[in-house]
Structure 1
Amino acid sequence: METNGIHDNAIVYSCYYERSREGEQFVPEHVLSYQLSGTLELNDGHKTYVYQPGDLRFVKRNRLVKFSKQPPENGEFRSLSIYLSQEVLQDFCKEYPYSAVPRASGDAVLELPSSPLLRSYIESLLPYENAQAPFSPSLLALKLKEAILVLLQTAPELKDVLFDFDPPGKIDLAAFMNRNFHFNVQLSRFAYLTGRSLAAFKRDFEKIFHTSPGKWLVQRRLEEAYYQIKNKGRAPSDVYLDLGFEDLSHFSFAFKKVYGISPSRV
């Protein structure tokens, strides 16, 4: 179960009473988040990040990230997130003379120092969690601008992340897909992240893999599932979500169709 306090989709309070591993695993905008209670685990396909109450994090836009939200025993998972859209950041640059120097992409998630400035900013937002009315547009704009200024004061190197407005460039499609096949996102997301239109993505994909993206993704995920179950001893119920299948029954049906037995009998 989840409840949200949402203010124009820019400042979001989330509350979960049960473990959650759902949602499209694509981050379209930069997010500054603070862990209020419970545990959050993020995985970008390369690293796993674990956050406890009091931890701050910054998630970069245009990244694939899986999450697992775990409430404490007899409690609830609570977090506060500030979404910094491209529009907000571009407006900020019209007022302040910042520009980015292109750099290597680096980690998808950055841990932020526990600075008094950041703490003070987060604390200023907490009274609005249970407010009956949303932020006024003027107040919302002010709090978002404050978030950017505090981030730049606390971690000046974020300048090159926040103000890089370029879309993803064209990259090695085969390498990208073999790293990220387990993320459950639409083909249009994969296309965008490899610097291609959907049509160009499908065309390049078939030239490289000699099959359609949809068929390849199912086959590659099933191969990895078979390996994880047989060689790592993992249970099918633990594997299917990690590998991009939406439900256990669909996974079991596809697995049996290819391997002739149900995954529980491997």
Structure 2
Amino acid sequence: MTDLKTNPSRIAYSCYYARTRDGEQFVQEHVFSYQVTGRLTLSNADKTYVFNEGDLRLIRRNQLVKFIKEPLNDGVFKTISVYLDQEVLKSFSLEYGYQAETGGNTGEAVLKLKTAPLCKSFLDSLLPYVQGDQLINEDLQRLKQREAIMVLLQAQPELKNVLFDFREPGKIDLEEFMNRNFHFNVQLKRFAYLTGRSLATFKRDFEHIFHTSPSRWLLQRRLQEAHFLIREKGKAPSDVYLETGFEDLSHFSFAFKKMYGVAPSRLVS
């Protein structure tokens, strides 16, 4: 899994031709995006979100998501995105006095934004910056980030409760979280952070609840889910291994055979 976060360019352009791509990411910072062409499907532990041509979205920070990028009829998948990191948001908050209202923040991981010509025009205006090979000047990137915040607040003022909520994840029910998110291939320190724990506390709490180590439990739980999807749902091993949190097919097949005594390709439905 890779992190979707502030990178050398805070303005990103994705363009794929002909074939569908899928995978998963940890979304570390808020991402404001416009679906130029094609279809994007995002899924977390609770919900699936589908975005088609012309749709606007805000992906909230600290989210585990799986994605499918589909070029569709014209054979092209295009998105334009602006990463809104905590540094620029805190600076904006101090300068303009914006604060999140207590209890006003929605729990949705991904927000489908209202159709707003202002937002669309702003994101369209970014295309010349990202379609070439030249890296955008740092100061200009910061300026465009601030413009994105202003555009979002103009279009949907209630988004201040998302953008200016600077709280870190609080301590949550570990058993429930792991049973809902075991299929994401992230390091233990990421699971610890998202459940509001240090890594040491996470391991201690985990072994107290599940009576085994996190690594061993994750392997067994993912293999159980894979077995169910192949045997009961008729899915192919080549589709299942990524879906259940394995990095590659060979490691998945080896672990599956070791646990069940038969290769996943030979499992009879």
Q: TM-score, normalised by structure 2?
A: 0.91
Counterpart position of 2:121: 120
* Aligned twin of 2:53: 53
Structure 1, 80-89 or 240-249: larger mean CA deviation: 240-249
Q: Check whether the contact 2:9–2:141 (CA below 8 A) recurs between aligned residues.
A: no
Aligned residue identity for 2:218: L
Which residue is equivalent to 2:232? 231
After TM superposition, the structure 1 = structure 2 runs for residues 1-266 of structure 1, keeping only pairs within 5 Å, are: 8-17=8-17, 18-23=19-24, 25-72=25-72, 75-103=75-103, 106-266=107-267
Aligned AA (1:85):
D
Cα deviations across residues 145-182 of structure 1 (Å, max 9, x unaligned)? 11101111111221111111111000110010001000
Deviations 1:86-106 (A, max 9, x none): 001001012111111243651
Q: Is the 8 A contact 2:13 2:131 kept in 1?
A: no
TM-score scaled by length of structure 1: 0.92
- Number of the residue aligned with 2:3: none
SS in 2 for 1:250: helix
Q: Is the 8 A contact 1:7 1:134 kept in 2?
A: no
Q: 1:21 is paired with a residue of what secondary structure?
A: strand
Q: C-alpha root-mean-square deviation of aligned residues, in Å?
A: 1.8
For the Cα contact (< 8 Å) 1:38–1:72, is it kept in 2?
yes
Q: Which amino acid aligns with 1:110?
A: L
Aligned partners of 1:190 and 1:157: how far apart in 2? 29
Uncovered stretches (5+) of structure 1, i.e. residues with no partner: 1-5
Q: What one-letter code is carried by the residue in structure 2 that aligns with 1:203?
A: R
Q: Structure 1 CA distance, aligned partners of 2:101 and 2:244?
A: 35
Query: Could you tell me how far 1:65 is from its partner in structure 2?
Result: 0.6
Q: Which runs of 5+ in 2 are unaligned?
A: 1-5
When the two structures are aligned, how many residues end up with a matched partner? Answer: 260
Instruction: Assess if the C-alpha contact under 8 Å between 1:255 and 1:261 holds in 2.
Output: yes
- Distance in 2 of aligned mates of 1:229 and 1:140: 46
Partner SS, residue 219 of structure 2: helix
Distance 1:96 1:155 in 2: 16
> Measured at CA, do residues 223 and 26 of structure 1 come closer, stay the same or move farther in structure 2, by a change above 3 Å?
same
Please give the alpha-carbon distance, in whole angstroms, between the structure 1 residues aligned to 2:136 and 2:186. Answer: 32
* Residue 132 of structure 1, CA deviation: 4.8
SS in 1 for 2:33: strand
Question: What is the letter of the counterpart of residue 223 of structure 2?
Answer: L
The answer to whether the 8 Å contact 2:189/2:199 transfers is yes
- Tell me, what secondary structure is at the counterpart of 1:159? helix
- The Cα shift of 1:73 comes to 5.2
- Answer yes or no: is the 8 Å Cα contact 1:118–1:151 preserved in 2: yes
Q: Contact 1:92 / 1:145 at 8 angstroms: preserved in 2?
A: yes
Tell me whether 134-143 or 108-117 shows the greater mean CA deviation. 134-143
Distance 1:105 1:143 in 2: 25
Aligned counterparts of 1:81 and 1:41: Cα–Cα separation in 2: 15
Q: Tell me the secondary structure at the aligned position of residue 92 of structure 2.
A: helix
In 1, Cα distance between the equivalents of 2:135 and 2:32?
A: 19
How far, CA to CA, are the matches of 2:133 and 2:245 in structure 1?
38
Mark the CA change 1:74 to 1:121 in structure 2 (over 3 Å): closer, same or farther.
closer
Deviations along 1:171-211, one digit per CA (max 9) or x if unpaired, are 11001000100011111110000000111111111111111
Whether the 8 Å CA contact 1:60–1:108 is kept in 2: the answer is yes
Contact 2:11 2:130 in 1 (8 A): no
Equivalent residues of 1:7, 1:135 under 8 A apart: no
